[in-house]
Amino acid sequence: MGLPVSVHRSDTKMRVGRYIAITVGASALLVSGVAPAAAGTLPTSGTAAGAASQAGHDQKQVPLRKVAPKGFAIGVAVAGGGHHLDQEYPDPFKYDEEYRGVLAKHFNSVTPENHLKWDFVHPERKKYNFGPADQIVKFAQSNGQKVRGHTLVWHSQNPDWLTKGKFSKKELRKILKEHIITVVGRYRGKIHQWDVANEIFDDNGKLRTNENIWLKNFGPEIIADAFRWAHQADPKAKLFLNDYGAEGINKRSDAYLKFMKELRKKGVPVHGFGVQGHLSLAYPFPGDMAKNLKRFSDAGFEVAVTEVDVRIPLNGGDATEAQLKTQADYYRRALEACLSVKSCNSFTLWGTTNKYSWVPVFFPDEGEATIFWDDFSPKPAYTALQEALAKARRR
């Protein structure tokens, strides 16, 4: 997610499924979830009822994935975990049939929003909770969708056992290596891109050594190791750095470009950079976004836009027609920036509706940041994306 957050929940909410044993090196671990071959208690595709309900909203609504250029990933975050556990609604992916229909109909790529973050997937030292992520991956496979993995190294949403534990540096390093090998290895060949390290630089282009447990203890070399371990676990996966506030050319994006070049010189398998795209109408659109993406591409890196939403200042009211028009323009410009750069082949929306969005939880005066209304009917932003994709397809 785009900004530093701390999400708390009881362990009982995370302990789902049954435990199975796996081995990492010489260590036997208990993994929560179902064995991969048995996963699938949820429908694995958009159901007829969900698709019919979607079609009822707009008979002329052509799915985004159908108008996207060949090979271009138009993706979405799958709601669940994190702040969703504290909301009144049940798990959207598990219980909302129409929601699953939207995921299957409109997108050819999905990202588990919270299901692969440390506090959700690794709630206890020797236990992993893979069940929900397994279901999302199987859903994606059944619907011809790619999967982006998010995230392996981050300063936020880490479990208390990790952040409050009394570990030596040797133990911490072993913990991180085991986590990466275990998580990436489980989805080897099934997740095509990983956000290996997330939000490691601040606004001034300085490493977050005070906030990030890994950087605080090991410095930047631990990021290099994380990439090496991820590559070891899945040699074919594309490995990314990812951050917010780096859409344009600034101190943060400068720092990433320099750091990535340094990693590459050391032989570290770093493949790409993801700009999150958490935007707001309270601020101007980053007009140099295309130029910024291009300089990473020119340096030989892939680029992706990974977590797009556009917040609207509401101040207790509803979004106005003018605001929705401006929001649509932000979405269009962000997508066109990506489409203008050859190595940018992935554009992911961070949610579908306001109801299931993280924005109202963390930005009380803003909202309606997504491209669908709560009944899944399209906003002007949907049409803007549809038109931009169709235009690029015709080139």
Which residues form the catalytic set? 199, 307
Which DSSP state fits 137? H
Give the integer Cα–Cα distance in Å for 176 and 153: 8
1: helix, coil or strand? coil
Q: 18 forms bridges with which residues in the sheet?
A: 33
The residue count for the chain? 395
Question: Angle at Cα 191 formed by Cα 185 and Cα 193, nearest 5°?
Answer: 110
Alpha-helical (H) ranges within 157-284 are 160-163, 169-186, 213-218, 221-233, 251-265
Phi-psi region of 165 (alpha: psi -120 to 50; beta: other; left: phi over 0): beta
Strands 146-153 and 193-198: parallel
Distances (CA, A) of 250 to 172, 197, 263, 272: 33, 19, 20, 18
Instruction: Tell how far CA 368 is from the center of its chain.
Output: 19
